Amino acid sequence: MLQSSTYFYRPRVALITGITGQDGSYLAELLLEKGYEVHGIKRRTSLFNTDRIDHLYQGPHNKNRRLVLHYGDMTDTSCLIRIIQQVQPDEIYNLAAQSHVAVSFEEPEYTANSDALGTLRVLEAIRILGLEKKTRFYQASTSELYGFVREVPQRETTPFYPRSPYAVAKLYAYWITINYREAYGIYACNGILFNHESPVRGETFVTRKITRALARIKLGLQDCLYLGNLDAKRDWGHARDYVEMQWMMMQQDEPEDFVIATGIQFSVRDFVNTAAKEIGMSITWRGEGVNEKGYDEHGACVVAVDHRYFRSTEVDSLLGDATKAREKLGWTPKITFEELVAEMVRHDLRSAERDELVKKHGFPTYAYAE
Ligand code: NDP
Ligand code: GDR
């Protein structure tokens, strides 16, 4: 029995789906710094998938453990209910998703299952377990909802027109979040986040693909960077700034949806030029006349356009207006585009240097990220 004078300090408890991803890792860091007990759902994979959170890992024998990982999957209702029942979270951040737009054209059904129905499963678990009044819910919504844009810049009231199986799945998740808020009084909110990047961005998203490839080209580990639509324009921010806003949205008196963006737009071509400048390289652009190996008649090339990276339906241009977040929550992004690119380049140069060393000692280094 506890002495009556004994006080239990129960830290706030957060559950992050997608904790092994880019945002999950930054958010876990932030919540641990704020004193939370953090639980995360990771998928069973045949190789380790916890690289991004290994620096936060605390073993099961650590008495003061504040980071706990659970095996689970967004497509498995029973495990989601079990984990939420066990963890009894104050806040759930639903970040898990098949998050690659181009891949969603290849895997539309799986994308719908994990991104749309996965969100429903978590919300239903809150309801089934009677946690409507206790557990707050954050949904990782996206600027991809705007797709074929009807208004520039895009704000909370701009109509949606999704242009990929990914965006259509996320549209369902957006609305089911609002429906559960209205129908059951759950504190549930959508962060409509524009693109955000970092040194731990997945290697097949265009920004990381660029910084990684240019670093490898600089060190002679790669000849060429193949890209799709160089004219696509995005509003790129830093993931560290954006997870702060995810947390802020969950601390309000009433749940609301917010756009999170920088309000500044660059093209893919601009990103390449900025990264090349940072790395001290001049770019040789090659058109679509490259042969199978990517070289044209001039020999080795640096950036070439390859049609396989074009999408069946493209989102040409996104630009966000985060006025509501600034006025209601006092949020503004702190890290500029140039600082973001510089940080990514520095990180990828270090990785390329490590690969160069490995190669010098006769070990293979792995190939291009497509
Ligand atoms: P990542 O792709 O880096 O991370 C996705 C996470 O979801 C990973 O932890 C991944 O696990 C996990 N995951 C994928 N499928 C499943 C599944 N079926 N069951 C359980 N876990 C799964 O994405 P980001 O961190 O960049 O983005 C986080 C969220 O925000 C996503 O929902 C994304 O759609 C959304 N978003 C992202 C934006 C961005 O610019 N980054 C902008 C707007 C929205 P594993 O590590 O094993 O692959
Ligand atoms: P996006 O990001 O589709 O906006 O989704 P991505 O970096 O994949 O593409 C941005 C733009 O660049 C063009 N592009 C290429 N893209 C990739 N991946 N590879 C290429 O070689 C290439 N060449 C040109 C694309 O066509 C596109 O126009 C990201 C994800 O994080 C989503 O989960 C999130 O919801 C949105 O951002 C907001």
Residues 161-191 pLDDT 10s: 999 999 999 999 999 999 999 999 999 999 9
> Rounded to the nearest whole angstrom, what is the distance from the C-alpha of residue 99 to the centroid of ligand 2?
10
Could you report the per-residue pLDDT of 54-65, keeping only the tens digit for each? 999 998 899 889
- The SS3 assignment for 149 reads coil
Instruction: Report the alpha-carbon distance of residue 56 to residue 31 in Å, rounded.
Output: 11
- Residue 297 clears pLDDT 80, i.e. is over it: no
* Interior angle at CA 20, CA 16 and CA 23, nearest 5: 70
Instruction: Write down the pTM of the prediction.
Output: 0.96
pLDDT for the residue numbered 223: 87
Average of per-residue pLDDT across 262-276:
97
Closest to 140 (Cα-Cα) out of 260, 20, 229: 260
The residues that are catalytic are: 142, 144, 166
Could you report the per-residue pLDDT of 186-234, keeping only the tens digit for each? 999 999 999 999 999 999 999 999 999 999 999 999 989 999 999 999 9
Q: By alpha-carbon position, which residue is closest to atom 38 of ligand 1? A: 195
Pocket test for ligand 2, best of 106, 168, 195 (most atoms within 8 A of CB): 195
Examine the predicted complex and report whether its ipTM is higher than 0.95.
Answer: yes
- Residue 2 clears pLDDT 70, i.e. is over it: no
| Residue 25, H or E segment | helix 22-33
Instruction: Report the alpha-carbon distance of residue 203 to residue 213 in Å, rounded.
Output: 10
**β strands within the chain, DSSP E:** 13-17, 37-42, 67-71, 91-94, 136-142, 188-193, 196-197, 225-227, 233-234, 237-238, 258-260, 266-267, 285-286, 303-305
Phi and psi torsions of 267, nearest 5°:
-90, 170
> Rounded to the nearest whole angstrom, what is the distance from the C-alpha of residue 206 to the centroid of ligand 2?
5
> Rounded to the nearest whole angstrom, what is the distance from the C-alpha of residue 196 to the centroid of ligand 1?
12
Q: By alpha-carbon position, which residue is closest to atom 9 of ligand 2? A: 206
Crossing angle of helices 239-249 and 22-33, in 10° steps, is 60
> Rounded to the nearest whole angstrom, what is the distance from the C-alpha of residue 203 to the centroid of ligand 2?
11
Crossing angle of helices 206-218 and 337-360, in 10° steps, is 50
Q: CA of 211: how far to CAs of 100, 231, 331, in Å?
A: 18, 18, 28
- Residue 72 clears pLDDT 70, i.e. is over it: yes
Average of per-residue pLDDT across 82-100:
98
Q: By alpha-carbon position, which residue is closest to atom 1 of ligand 2? A: 101
> Rounded to the nearest whole angstrom, what is the distance from the C-alpha of residue 147 to the centroid of ligand 2?
12
- The SS3 assignment for 59 reads coil
| Cβ < 6 A, ligand 2 pocket | 99, 101-102, 142-144, 194-195, 204-207, 209, 227-229, 232, 234, 268, 309, 311, 314-315
Question: Which atom from ligand 1 is nearest to the alpha carbon of 195?
Answer: 40
pLDDT for the residue numbered 367: 61
Could you report the per-residue pLDDT of 326-367, keeping only the tens digit for each? 999 999 999 999 999 999 999 999 999 999 999 999 988 776
Could you report the per-residue pLDDT of 103-133, keeping only the tens digit for each? 999 999 999 999 999 999 999 999 999 999 9
Which residues touch 352 (CB under 8 Å, ≥6 apart)? 212, 215, 216, 218, 219, 221
Q: By alpha-carbon position, which residue is closest to atom 5 of ligand 2? A: 101
User: Exposed, middle or buried, 155 (CB in 10 Å: 0-12/13-18/19+)?
Assistant: middle
pLDDT for the residue numbered 315: 98
The pair of three-digit structure tokens given for residue 170, joined into one six-digit string: 């996320």
Show the domains of the chain with their CATH numbers.
13-199+235-265 (3.40.50.720), 206-232+267-315+337-360 (3.90.25.10)
Average of per-residue pLDDT across 269-283:
94
pLDDT for the residue numbered 10: 86
How many other C-beta atoms can be found within 10 angstroms of the C-beta atom of residue 174?
23
Q: CA of 264: how far to CAs of 44, 85, 127, 343, 344, in Å?
A: 38, 42, 39, 18, 19
Question: Which atom from ligand 1 is nearest to the alpha carbon of 19?
Answer: 9
Average of per-residue pLDDT across 150-169:
98
Q: Which ligand is nearest to the CA of 227?
A: 2
For residue 196 and ligand 1, the question of a CB distance below 6 A is answered with: yes
**In this predicted structure, which of 52-56, 252-256, 302-306, 345-349 has the lowest mean pLDDT?**
302-306
Give me the residue label for tokens 């380049």. 345
Average pLDDT value for the chain: 93
pLDDT band at 146 (very low <50, low <70, confident <90, very high): very high
- The SS3 assignment for 41 reads strand
pLDDT for the residue numbered 4: 46
Instruction: Report the alpha-carbon distance of residue 146 to residue 163 in Å, rounded.
Output: 8
pLDDT for the residue numbered 369: 72
